[in-house]
Structure 1
Amino acid sequence: MNGDGKINPGSMSAAIDAIRGGTGSLDVVILAGSAPTSGSAAPECDAVMALPGVNSCTSWTLTAASDGNNSQVNADIRNAEFVYFAGGDQCRYAAWKGTALEASVESVVAKGGGSGGGSAGTHINSPVVYDACQGSVTSAEALANPYDSYITFTTGMFDWPNYAGVINDSHFTARDRMGRTMAFVARAIKDGRTSGGKAWGVGVEEGSSLLLDSNGQATLYGTEAFIVLGDHQPEQATAGKPLTFSGYKIWHLGPGQTYDFKNRPTCGYYLRNVTGGVIDTNPYSGTPQTTCGTPGGTVLLAENEANDTRATANDATALTYPASISGTMASTTDRDYFRVSLAANERLTVQCAVPDAYDADLYLLDSNGSTLTRSVNNGLGTDESLTFTRTAAGSATYHLELEAYRGSGTPTYTCTLTKN
């Protein structure tokens, strides 16, 4: 998955060697939606044929959706070991969904070959595709309105092993696309385009390439790439209104660094917030968390049973924020309470990562036990989040309640608490 339309020799050579097992040679097919405007008629084939282990390279320019059913095109694809989608217009590629070409490319991967692309070709290789069929959106436009008419998606085309829940983007830093990827992630969660209440954005910079191997390990060739995780429902993702989403988890990959998509990490990220369409600080750089799953590297408060009532709530009022609380839903009737405090005009944001063993709901209660706000997303392992601002004068005590809605088990939930 290349950050621009050019073949990356390092990642392409590594892919070729992995497919052919270090011996023999393989055949490559290049698919393009339009002919090059200058230079060679097949620049990608020129670059590929210069690499060791390549027997042949065939380039096809397909300009209509019906070309996806061309018998010779599909025969060439099925006989190849690698299919590369050139840069250009991913909307043209999305039009091949449901044609014979889609099944042919899938057959190449199924037999141990590979698929990839650059720029538009990178977009089409993610399970959620920003197809740009209505036009290209900028970060500013997407953050100001995550339902901008230019933001359209295609799903259900290519679902590569270990790569579920992902939206690719390219030309990432050079064209400042972090903001729009954040909006894409929020939309994917809000619209239910991914499962488990989570979505991952993968942004690759120009001149760089991310190679995903058969075990789900992605290695960066080049300068940088970013993994952007949204793991809860957006606080605001509504047509015509600016995006608000707290706690994006961002991994910044440098040359040679890896990200395991099969066993996705729960540490090594830095956090960024979007409030009213504005990212809180530079989203392309941050200090990574070094201990899994917790802000600042330490689980500051693990539940201490019995904490099943407000009277026996665990005290989180003295924690330094951002903070973390954790516990388990030990039974189908379990309730865990934590005591927190808020000053005047102080906003509390709570994001809970819920394990797949159960469905837990999250509530914020006032001092009388009345519900002020709640998060009750359905599904085992579906994360919960809420935000509340105290508008009254002075400070007051509140209670967070985690309640077992369905299922139970020993896996731990972890809630991140921030105040601002």
Structure 2
Amino acid sequence: MLTLTGTLTSTGSAEAAGTRIRLGSSSDVSRTSWQGPAFTMNGDGKINPGSMTAAIDAIRGGTGSLDVVVLAGSAPTSGSATPECDAVMALPGVNSCTSWTLTTASDGNNSQVNTDIRNAEFVYFAGGDQCRYAAWKGTALETSVESVVAKGGGSGGGSAGTHINSPVVYDACQGSVTSAEALADPYDSYITFTTGMFDWPHYAGVINDSHFTARDRMGRTMAFVARAIKDGRTSDGKAWGVGVEEGSSLLLDKNGRATLYGKEAFVVLGDHQPEQATAGQPLTFSGYKIRHLGPGETYDFKNRPTCGYYLRSVTAGVIDSNPYSGTPQTTCGIPGGSASLTESEPNDTRATADDATAVTYPASLTGTMASAADRDYFRISLTANEHLTVQCALPDAYDADLYLLDSGGSTLTRSVNNGAGADETLTFTKAASGSATYYVELEAYSGSGTPAYTCTLTKN
């Protein structure tokens, strides 16, 4: 094995310097086509042999070999000077691995760095400080990495390198935030983002996080998701947090399917505006949809599922129950799925609303006015130009009024016919942009009882 070492001074800055160490062949592979892209998102800074081997095999189509570049923002403080390349060179199908330590933003314009990247088929961002990586936004390095993916190669990273490979990057440029801090104030000064750097195929709207379970980062990922939606950093009013545990790695293939290598990972979906995400105030966000992935399990980012999540809510900065475990819904938003939903108390506020976003239409919502002060809330979602009709058949035991609320709780339309057993009907048309969350509310006006009401929802 040939080892080449050297130190290069970047052009354009007397202070900028990059340290280059190459392992393996001194000559790059020459080949006309590659079969990727493929991406690895690791829960810590170490190379995951399983996902890395799978990525290498996918890119080279199972034949020949390829070249890897490792980018780091600082040199290791002990042990090998090239720990990532040491691990990569032990895998099959690798021709060379070149490790670069780049310490300033202007190093992103180093001509030798960019030549090495463009000649490689996989770029791995080491663990460390993602703020240093975010500083390469707009440099030649960003374009060079994108060219590797465009030719069918790949990108990935561990810890900080995982963060930089999502389209919304928690950059930690002001410091690292804990879950408790983020839930107490989703606009904490430590929560800063970089967007517009890398946007890999099928991975839109995602915010990566690492060391996930070991460092209890679910709460802060929930806050990141709420912020991304509230600030308009993602489209269609939705955002996905992807948290990978230490020792684990998600392999994202060219078809958008992510496969877990290792212990566990989580997908945290927010599909509506937060009820409260305001500077200096604790977060309130109802109905996060969470998917827990175990060894070998997959998540399709190209065709993102509407089912198989368990639900968790945050109220005044407090998560309602253990967010790392739950019972997934199984009859939602899939062919043959449920077209009816029965209320489950308490559902007397928007924060505790029953989730009806995934029922199939026409849908039926059923429940009772258990007391003269009862209110039942159901959360629904409408997309651009959708026309909603809600028709509630009420029993003779009570009089109830029907409301449609926006995500902030304002009344959009209502039906308030007088008299016990008087049915209620309302209609509403969503504006011609994006999707949004709404709430169907049935409120007791007079009387109560055990006979059930049925509200039928139709869309066209």
In structure 1, the residue matched to 2:381 is 353
- Residue 195 in 1 paired to residue 248 in 2? no
Distance 2:65 2:270 in 1: 41
CA distance in 2 between partners of 1:369 and 1:257 (Å)? 42
User: 1:33: which partner in 2?
Assistant: 73
Q: In the alignment, which of 48, 51, 59 is matched to residue 99 of structure 2?
A: 59
What secondary structure does 2:250 align onto? strand
- Asked if 2 retains the 8 angstrom alpha-carbon contact of 1:96 and 1:102, the reply is yes
CA shift digits 1:21-49 (9 cap, x unpaired): 11111000000111111111111011101
What does residue 170 of structure 2 align with?
130
Quote the offset at 1:353 in angstroms: 3.0
Q: Is the 8 A contact 1:363 1:371 kept in 2?
A: no
Inter-partner Cα distance in structure 1 for 2:371 and 2:239: 33
Matches within 5 A, 1:15-164: 15-164=55-204
1:290 corresponds in structure 2 to: 330
Partner of residue 273, structure 1: 313
Distance change >3 Å, CA 45–CA 344, structure 1 → 2: farther
C-alpha contact (below 8 Å) 2:252/2:258 kept by paired residues: yes
Is 1:327 the equivalent of 2:373? no
Alpha-carbon distance in structure 1 between the residues aligned to 2:235 and 2:370 = 34
Runs of 4+ aligned residues of structure 1 deviating over 6 Å after TM superposition are 316-321, 336-340, 361-366, 368-372, 387-394, 396-403
CA contact (8 A) 1:363 1:401 kept: yes
Distance 1:369 1:255, change over 3 A: closer
In 2: Cα distance, 1:262 partner to 1:107 partner: 21
Overall identity of the aligned pairs, in %: 75
User: Match for residue 241 of structure 1?
Assistant: 281
- Matching of residue 299 in structure 1 with residue 333 in structure 2: no
Aligned match for 1:227, one of 251, 267, 271: 267
Structure 2: gaps (5+ residues): 1-40, 348-353, 393-398, 413-428
Native 8 Å contact 1:173 1:205 kept in 2:
yes
Asked whether the 8 Å contact 1:87–1:120 carries over to 2, the reply is yes
Higher radius of gyration, 1 or 2: 2
Paired with 1:150 and 1:57, the residues of 2 have a C-alpha distance of 35
Q: Deviations 1:163-206 (Å, cap 9, x if unpaired)?
A: 01000000000000000000110111111110011100000000
Do residues 176 (structure 1) and 210 (structure 2) align? no
Change in Cα spacing, 1:392 to 1:89, as seen in structure 2 (3 Å) is farther
Aligned residue pairs: how many? 382
The amino acid across from 1:384 in the alignment is T
Distance, in Å, in 2 between the alignment partners of 1:274 and 1:34 is: 37
Q: Which residue of 1 aligns with 2:395?
A: none
Q: Secondary structure at the match of 1:327?
A: coil
Q: Report the TM-score when normalising by structure 2.
A: 0.75
Q: Residues 13 and 348 (structure 1 numbering): CA distance in 2 closer, same or farther, change over 3 Å?
A: same
Q: CA deviation at 1:351?
A: 2.2
Secondary structure of 2:115's aligned partner: helix
Give TM-score, length-normalised by structure 1: 0.82
The equivalent of 2:436 in structure 1 is 383
Letter of the structure 1 residue corresponding to residue 124 of structure 2: Y
Structure 1, unaligned stretches of length 5 or more?
302-315, 330-335, 410-420
Shift in Å, 1:391: 10
Whichever residue aligns with residue 383 of structure 1, its letter is A
Q: Is the 8 A contact 1:249 1:271 kept in 2?
A: yes
8 A Cα contact 1:350 1:386, kept in partner: yes
Asked whether the 8 Å contact 1:349–1:385 carries over to 2, the reply is no
CA distance in 2, matches of 1:263, 1:230: 16
What is aligned with 1:206? 246
- Computed over aligned residues only, the root mean square deviation of the Cα atoms, in angstroms, reads 3.4
Distance 1:363 1:292, change over 3 A: closer
CA contact (8 A) 1:222 1:255 kept: yes
Report the CA distance shift for 1:150/1:342 in structure 2 as closer, same or farther (over 3 A): farther
In the alignment, residue 435 of structure 2 is paired with which amino acid? T
